[in-house]
Structure 1
Amino acid sequence: MLSKLTFPLVAATALFVLNPSLLPESLRQDSTLRAEDMTSPGLGELLDGPAKSSGRTSSVNAALAPPTAPAQTDGAPALPAAAVKQNVRPGENPFLSPGKDLTAAASAARAPASVQAMIVPAAPQMPAAPDTAATPVAVNPFDTDKSQDGARAALPIALTSDVDVTALRYYATSKDLKRLGAEMRRLKELYPDWQPPKDLFAPVVSIDEQPLWELYAKGDYAGIRAEIARIQSANPKWQPSEDLTQKLQAGETRSLINSAYKRGRWAEVLSTAQAAPQIMVCQEMQVQWNVAESFARLKNYAEAFDVYHYILTSCDDPAMRLSTVQKAGLLLPPAGTASLIALGRTMPDGSSEFDDISFDGLRREIGSFIQKGDFASMPNEQELSRFVEFIQQTNSGKDATLIGWYFYSQKDWASANGWFIQAAKYQRDPKSIEGVILTLRNMDRPGEALQMARRYMTASPEIAKQYIEIISASITDDKSKLKLEKGDTETFEKVVAEQKSPLGGQALGWKYLADGDKAAASDWFNKSVSWEPTEGGVIGLAVLAARAKNYATLTALKSKYGSEFEGLKDFRVYKVKPYRAASAKPVKLKKKPEEKRGLFWFMNTNG
């Protein structure tokens, strides 16, 4: 019996489920969906015509469980569960920072010192125009103070030797005095004690950087450093180009972060990124994802949220934005994911770009319910209704298939069948066809199930498996009402051989044994056992051996499979008494009377 929570979804299902009695006729009329067409969009005219397309893509994230996270190995202590703010507007950070005493709860959740050291602003960037006196400071996405003034005030005072004069030398070399002056004013503003180098206008040796760029393309950053050192030993005043220098630093940082991430050393990821905050840009999306995940693994959800928030408010690539929210959904508590989803941009059709992702949590719940079958953990009624509306609006084949399996797990074959059919019309996915076949079999409609399986058995191994099961059940059941078509046996043998199906092999063995063709039966039983030893296949070989009184083969079968298959105990092996040869002892024969008379009597008588 269905739970009360299921009835609203059943009502919504009525919008999709067609009269099952219409299916045979519609299946006979369906000539557009073939196995070779399974890659094109839409199922075509499976029942009553092609489904309308909304132009949207189907569900992006159909995973029903989050991936296993790498183990933390750097010894960083785990923090308490996230403290969530109350009455937070959509798009705002819902988490209390573990590094601030915002509430009594937050004070007990301070981040370790290695993480607190990350919260610093980014370094200044180069000016965009030559006459710009000062450049706005790019704020690190995980900085708690988002104002540029606050970021500038927090900048450490660098030593004179630490000032980057690469741009200054470039302008001096190119004799661009206007930009040279602007760069000097910028550096003076940032570092009041700084003085321009005395050799600013000294001639620069021209070095071909192509070999260095070739090493960069290979990711050989250590080789680049070694080659730069070699060149500078012969030309002390030479400096690599600004482009190469920046890309080399970014590459080295990226490599260190990725290495630490793969080892699960979250604090090391954060400290490396803090040393080069300029890498936190949209062009380095993987680095930003790794940093955000490192914060989340340390349960510093407030800072992790800030990184994801920065990406969604700064980066435009739709695929990257989508992946960002998906990754956040696997790492942040639900409040954080919901707030990030609110940052989705409005699509031309009026929907949000993240509408699909907003149901990922519900998809996981449905998947868990399908797997466990625990009615106490059924998905929320209102969420299911919203999900159905979303499926109707987006024509999502994968989601419709998921609802089909949801009903299938409750043995509501009719509702499951209707959803599988609708899913197949939305998107040509073999899984929906498999669902249609399974539900038809459970609804005791094997003829229609066979018709579907026969038509689409080359679309996937699962559908071919259904075809084999249906035929096997038919040819091994004397009471089967399923009528096979001419040529079905030949086609069946071919599919069984291609799929190496133990079930199909033993079914053919029993068929040929019943027909009296022992040679064909033996061939298929042997094939079945070679693909996978099953009781049906082994017992078939035992029957053939017993009938042929081949007790040596029967003994070998009992010895090899006797402990695995109980049915072999019913076979008895008869022993033949050994043949005894005649005795070699001489036998004494009695002589006849005439032999006793001897030769003398014989001669006299005939004489």
Structure 2
Amino acid sequence: MKPVVFITAGVVALGILVIRNGGYLDAAPPPASAVTQAAGAQHTADDGRSQAAYSQPTNVAQLAPATTVPTQPSSGSVPPPKVDETALRYFAAKGDTRRLEAEIARLKALYPDWTPPENPLAVRQEGDPQLEQMWKLYSEGKLADVRKAIADRQTAEASWQPPADLLDRLAAAEAREQLVNASELKQYDAVIRIGSTNSSLLTCGDVDVLWRVAEAFAHTNREDRARDAYLYVLNNCKKPEERVATIQKALPLLSRPSLDQLLAKEQKAADGKGEFAAVRGDISRQSLANADADPKLVVAPEDLATVKMLAQEGGLASDDLLLGWYHVGRNNPQEAEAWFRRARDKENTASSSQGLALALINLSRPADAEAVLYQWRDTNDDIRRVYLAAAANLLAVTPPAPLSAEVLQRMVQEIYAAKDAASAQQLGWYADALNQSQTAAQWFKLALDWKPDDEPSAYGLALTRWKIGDKAGAREIQAAWVGRSERIPTVSERSIETAAVGKGTEAGARTHARAKQDQAEDQAAQDQAATAQDTIRSGSGARTRKQVRGCSSSIDPTTLAPKQALTLGWCLMEANRPVEAAAAFEAALHGSGKTRTDAAYGQSLAYLRAGLSDMAAAAASKAPLDPERSVEVRTALLEAQASSAFDQGRYVETIMALDERSRIAPERTGLMVMRGYAYLKLRRFSDAEQVFRAAAGTGNHDALRGLNDVKAARDSKIQ
């Protein structure tokens, strides 16, 4: 058996084909006649697909075939092998020094006893114009034309055979072209198949091919193979720019543990600086990008700190955006707003405006969000949805926000064009708050047309139809929602005129009943608390929690468990001691789940009873309330706001509060009288007369007196 010599990775690198402009023709591989494939380059099938053997990336023979060359026999009887110098002459004639030197290195590796011409550029071109033309076509990347030229000459000269070197180069170039095309078309299985059957392409001489094969592995859920392909480059290839680019290529495709394996191959310069220092910033950026896509991912503090440093020192808007989106996903709108504003100040783009709008919506600043995003509203569906959310939130502000005609008109146009039911419903309530009941009914009807199962829109439509006297239309809606809604079938003239939410109570009889029900549900806990003796640890030792036995005596609620404090709060409400009840509910807010929710609800009721509406509103926001309780508390808050404004002579605010209240609950007769007098004080005589007349129909004496006051005011104006 003849001994063989394995060519090193560096020699193989000299023999790689690279297409023009892609570096494919920068060097020439050994001709097929002079090489045999090493055993390590054998390919096996995996799930019916042929793959390259990447299991041991540090072994060059497994990623690129080793080549063998015949050793020169010691006997002088064997003539020296004939060296094909065709390519050498062609590159010399073209004056292509770089390729000429690569060809000389290749031939010397294949034929150690071969001596290149002393002056390669002076090599005289010997005649074979047709072959030279084939080389020319090949150098220009016109592979199909080369094939045609070969076929034409073989037809004309049956005995002529093209040089094996040219055929090998041509086959490899065609295979690379196929691999690149498959990669560009994202046909990843084809990329792997072509790479495995043309392993001579997989060397340091054409790192782009290695990158494409690695990418194909990553996109076919074989991350370990992709990692190994990248590791092959780092273990065997020396060009600094290609090594750094390898990390950059792997960054979006590999998991952090796999990337860390690649980073471990970093080489240090004389000054101790690692070659991948610049890439590590990109890795931190990718960490934040991944966290944006998956809110459950935990970002390492050092990655977050690195990106912040890059944003502050480098000044890239993209870094500001990364941080903005990260904080939006972590429910930190203040930080998000700051980073998005930085990004938007540098580059006012759709992405920076969208992120800023989201942060502003989360900060309850929908007017600013609408203004920021309006110019980008048509960019894509996601941005349109954010814009519509900003519009809906702006329309839902309580009391109604004063909107310019321009802003209102453009929101109306966008809502109608998008057929967005949620925003249309808010337009309905907004119009209703301005006493434009006909317009409100139209928007509620549109919302229902766009979303037939939208109960709030159906309720709004039924309510506004009763208001404008369309009883048949209201009953039609009511009939359609029987069994699907509790409140829609109860809407009527009677409910609009007299439905009670008693002034000075926490939210009327219904709210009180709900509180009583909660108190009854908590009775078992109260009984248990009456006998419990548990201890808690504090700074100086232990103290015993006090027992809750009713509320006839003063008890410090901070000494109670949250559940016990909640029970005490309801007891104090029954005893009409709302200020003390509020303190008990505050202690109960330290609980969780239903206890915390009930505590927020109870504290809001306590403050309402005490006449502290601002504190009641703050209490209601301390924990999420269920829809029914939220409506009850909000109704009572708006009623208190209206009464306070009326008593202080702020009649416009009185009407706005009553309008907002009427959106969520029918207006009782007493409030209608208050509305009538507010109109009268504003000298809106027609509006006042209309409201007083509706209230007087129930026999309300205050409303009848109001009609007389309107007549007197008109008469005095005439005189």
With normalisation by structure 1, the TM-score equals 0.50
The structure where helix makes up a greater share of residues is: 2
With normalisation by structure 2, the TM-score equals 0.43
The structure showing larger relative contact order (alpha-carbon pairs under 8 Å, at least 6 residues apart) is 1
